[in-house]
Structure 1
Amino acid sequence: MSYEMIALLMFASMMLLLLTGKRVFGAIGVVAVLFSLALWGDGGSEMAFSAAMKLMKWYPLLTLPLFIYMGYMLSESGIADDLYRMFHVWMGPVRGGLAIGTIVLMVAISAMNGLSVAGMAIGASIAMPELLRRGYDKIMVTGVIQAGSSLGILVPPSVVLVLYGMIARQPVGQLWLAGVFPGLMMAGLFVLYIAVRCWLKPEMGPALSREERAAVSWSEKISLLKAGLIPLFIFFSMTGLFLMGYTSLVESSAVGALAATLAAIFKRRLTSHVMEETLRKTLSITCMFMWIILAALCFGAVFDGLGAVRAIENFFVGEMGWGPWQILILMQVSFIIMGMFLDDTAMLVIVAPLYVPLVGHLGFDLVWYGVLYTITCQIAYMTPPFGYNLFLMRAMAPPEVTLKDIYQSITPFVLIMVLALILVMAFPQIALWLPGVQYGH
């Protein structure tokens, strides 16, 4: 049997195990270890061991638990809630102002957590009931929360980009900086759409009435402004120290985790329950990601050993005669299709051993491709029939929001994401300019 057929059999075995509902890291890791033992005998066991040692020695991985801890500390202590109340009071007088404030809130939550699930939970539990109570169109509200929460995997500190950096062997700092402008651009397009839509149809996002505005005194507004600025100050102090060169990537994550804890103490919200929930969720998410990375490294090592990547490149470039851009677009389409059934980490683990080396061989920048991958994941999250975010929203939304409403709500936001993807593909400097300035290339 040729190595190409072995690689195909390996990939098919992994997909079969995933379809049985087994855990992602278990399915991928078992296939990798079994095939390495079958191909190289006892020496094949060294591949899994080598992958584990590589994982444990990768210093930037320390950022993963620290940033996750920071996000959950701010969420569990209620400091993130203060941020929304601030937006509610200050943006309420504008048509669609609460929806715009929700997008800004999602960007802030993304900058504190790096996970889309956290933004979705806060948006669905805090923002959605308030928006519906104030007469906002439920379809638009549902789309706003889904679209805003998807920014969590692009705006730094993105956990997904940490995983991509580990698997693609790219600097996490550059990947994070590459996600800044695309993430802000996408958030800006969301805000522009909401503002125009609510200007054309005021009933979709009514402004706060004069009575409601008069009920909030200026002293209360200033008080809310101070409370809401605490999480923003934590983020900007953390990233500011990093960008100015005072702290390394890992040190800046430690600064963020410490600042979040001190903020909870300052607000007198650091109870034993808050600490217990924060540590439990941090440990759970961190361990899950570490197992996935370990399985991905082992799987990728076996694929490299088989020469599967070179075979795929020869097939598309040599036999099919496709150009680099045609192959790249095909990759993005395949991500969207897989995103109907899998989450972002599963997609990355499955295709990274195939796609990442191929992208490098085609002459594309791997940092830039990391941003393309992440934006495509955002689109896949919200693509019917089985988009990951669609079912998260269905689980968290109130009963009056049906699955039909959820499907209908995402259409304009998906189109905006596709536009953002096209812009980043056409103008790579949107993603690469900031890393180039910071790192000098």
Structure 2
Amino acid sequence: MSYEMIALLMFASMMVMLMTGQRVFAAIGFVAVISALLMWGDGGSEMAFSAAMKLMKWYPLLTLPLFIYMGYMLSESGIAEDLYKMFHVWMGPLNGGLAIGTIGLMVVVSAMNGLSVAGMAIGASIAMPELLRRGYDKIMVTGVIQAGSSLGILVPPSVVMVLYSMIARQPVSKLWMAGVLPGLMMAALFVIYIVVRCRLQPEMGPALSQEERKVPWPQKLALLRAGILPLLIFFSMTGLFLMGYASLVESAAYGATAATLAALFKRRLTRQVMDQTLKKTLVISCMFMWIILAALCFGAVFDGLGAVRAIEGFFVDQLGLGPWQILIMMQLSYIIMGMFLDDTAMLVIVAPLFIPLVGALGFDLVWYGILYTITCQIAYMTPPFGYNLFLMRAMAPPEVSLGDIYRSVIPFVLIMTCALVLIMAFPQIALWLPEAYYGN
């Protein structure tokens, strides 16, 4: 049997297992280990062991549980809610001001947690009831929360980029820096859309009434201080790293410690808060570590098969496609898979093929990491089976129907597609910051 046929059977077996409801890491790891044993006998068993050792020795992986802990500590202790109250009071007098504040909340929550699910949970539980109660259009509200939460896998510290860096063998710090400007650019495009839409149709996002605007200045300043606290934690953490005073792992440890001390200072560090934070951190961290382990094993088998070179030859020699045509086909395949799978599953399934192929075609792997992440965001919000659509349906109040959720994402998907095209046309949007920093 040819190696190409073996690779095809591996993918088919993995997809069948995933469709039966098996966990992602179990399906991928099982197929990889069994394939290695069947092809190379007892020697194939060393592949899984070698992948495990590589994972355990990868020092930057320590940032994963530390950043997840920091995000959940700020969320469970209510400090993230203080941030939204600050946006509510200071941005409310503008048409669409609360929606703009929600985007700001999502950016900060994304920076604190690195997971889109966490941002959506906070937006749906804190921001959505307030926006609906104040007469905001329900379709625009659901779109704002979904678009804002999608920034969680792009704005550093992105947990998904940790997984990508392990598979692509690229520094996590470079990937995080590369995500800063694209993430801020997308957030700015979302804000511009909200401002223009609410100026043309003020009923979509009414400003706060005169009575609600009459908040005493001492209270405004108190909310400002409370809301600035998580921003200070994030910027001081990243500042220590960028200025060279701390390594990536040390800055993550600083952020986790600062979040705990902030909860203690505000007298919110209860037994229940600590219990929930530790449980959620353990669950998410273990899930990602198992997925990374399975991905490394799967990638090792593919390297042994030489499947990447075979696929490169198929696209370039037999089909006669150019590098950009192949890249666009890859992005389209991500959008199709994203209707059914989450970002980690997509990355693990196609990473052994796409990432080496991208490097062989001459593209920068850090830049491609940003393209992959944005494409995942678009796929999450693409009807009919986008991952975020059903998460929003589960969290939204009864008056928000699935049809409303489908309609709400259309303008934001178009905006994100424009951002993707801009970054493809001008790679320096993503690469300028890491090149400037490491160049110095």
TM-score range, shorter chain: over 0.9
For the residue of structure 2 that corresponds to 1:102, the secondary structure is helix
What is aligned with 2:28?
A: 28
Shift of residue 256 of structure 1? 0.3
What is aligned with 1:397?
A: 396
Separation of aligned partners in 2, 1:94 and 1:334: 41
Letter of the structure 1 residue corresponding to residue 10 of structure 2:
M
Separation of aligned partners in 1, 2:260 and 2:438: 31
Task: For residues 51-84 of structure 1, give each alpha carbon's deviation from its aligned partner in whole angstroms, at most 9, with x where no partner exists.
Answer: 0000000000000000000000000000000000
Task: For residues 366-400 of structure 1, give each alpha carbon's deviation from its aligned partner in whole angstroms, at most 9, with x where no partner exists.
Answer: 00000000000000000011111000000000000
What does 1:162-173 correspond to in 2, within 5 Å?
162-173=162-173
What is aligned with 1:331?
A: 330
Separation of aligned partners in 1, 2:355 and 2:376: 15
Shift of residue 210 of structure 1? 1.1
What is aligned with 2:210?
A: 210
For the residue of structure 1 that corresponds to 2:73, the secondary structure is helix
Separation of aligned partners in 2, 1:17 and 1:267: 47
Separation of aligned partners in 1, 2:14 and 2:209: 57
Task: For residues 150-195 of structure 1, give each alpha carbon's deviation from its aligned partner in whole angstroms, at most 9, with x where no partner exists.
Answer: 0000000000000000111100000000000000000000000000
Letter of the structure 1 residue corresponding to residue 75 of structure 2:
S
What does 1:205-244 correspond to in 2, within 5 Å?
205-214=205-214, 216-244=215-243
Separation of aligned partners in 2, 1:7 and 1:101: 48
Separation of aligned partners in 2, 1:213 and 1:411: 32
Separation of aligned partners in 1, 2:371 and 2:213: 42
What does 1:112-151 correspond to in 2, within 5 Å?
112-151=112-151
Shift of residue 211 of structure 1? 1.3
Letter of the structure 1 residue corresponding to residue 373 of structure 2:
T
**Structure 2: gaps spanning 5 or more residues:** none
CA-atom RMSD in angstroms: 0.5
What is aligned with 2:193?
A: 193
Q: Percent same amino acid at aligned positions?
A: 82
Separation of aligned partners in 1, 2:152 and 2:307: 33
Structure 1 length-normalised TM:
0.99
Separation of aligned partners in 2, 1:112 and 1:12: 38
Structure 2 length-normalised TM:
1.00
Separation of aligned partners in 1, 2:8 and 2:388: 30
What is aligned with 1:388?
A: 387
Separation of aligned partners in 2, 1:399 and 1:320: 50
For the residue of structure 2 that corresponds to 1:11, the secondary structure is helix
Letter of the structure 2 residue corresponding to residue 250 of structure 1:
V
Task: For residues 253-311 of structure 1, give each alpha carbon's deviation from its aligned partner in whole angstroms, at most 9, with x where no partner exists.
Answer: 00100000000000000000000000000000000000000000000000110000000
**Structure 1: gaps spanning 5 or more residues:** none
Separation of aligned partners in 1, 2:131 and 2:319: 52
Separation of aligned partners in 2, 1:33 and 1:118: 33
Separation of aligned partners in 1, 2:90 and 2:223: 9
Shift of residue 440 of structure 1? 1.0
Separation of aligned partners in 1, 2:137 and 2:276: 34
For the residue of structure 1 that corresponds to 2:362, the secondary structure is coil
Task: For residues 336-391 of structure 1, give each alpha carbon's deviation from its aligned partner in whole angstroms, at most 9, with x where no partner exists.
Answer: 00000000000000000000000000000000000000000000000011111000
Shift of residue 209 of structure 1? 1.1
What is aligned with 1:305?
A: 304
Task: For residues 109-128 of structure 1, give each alpha carbon's deviation from its aligned partner in whole angstroms, at most 9, with x where no partner exists.
Answer: 00100000110000000000
What is aligned with 1:103?
A: 103
For the residue of structure 1 that corresponds to 2:418, the secondary structure is helix
What does 1:285-324 correspond to in 2, within 5 Å?
285-324=284-323
Shift of residue 11 of structure 1? 1.0
What is aligned with 2:92?
A: 92
Separation of aligned partners in 2, 1:271 and 1:80: 16
Letter of the structure 2 residue corresponding to residue 377 of structure 1:
C
Letter of the structure 2 residue corresponding to residue 58 of structure 1:
W
What is aligned with 2:378?
A: 379
- The yes-or-no answer on 1:41 pairing with 2:41 is yes
Task: For residues 67-104 of structure 1, give each alpha carbon's deviation from its aligned partner in whole angstroms, at most 9, with x where no partner exists.
Answer: 00000000000000000000000000000000000001
- The yes-or-no answer on 1:415 pairing with 2:414 is yes
Shift of residue 420 of structure 1? 0.4
- The yes-or-no answer on 1:357 pairing with 2:391 is no
What is aligned with 1:73?
A: 73
Letter of the structure 1 residue corresponding to residue 309 of structure 2:
R
- The yes-or-no answer on 1:11 pairing with 2:11 is yes
For the residue of structure 2 that corresponds to 1:346, the secondary structure is helix
What is aligned with 2:56?
A: 56
Where do 4+ consecutive residues of structure 1 move more than 6 Å? Answer: none
Separation of aligned partners in 2, 1:212 and 1:411: 32
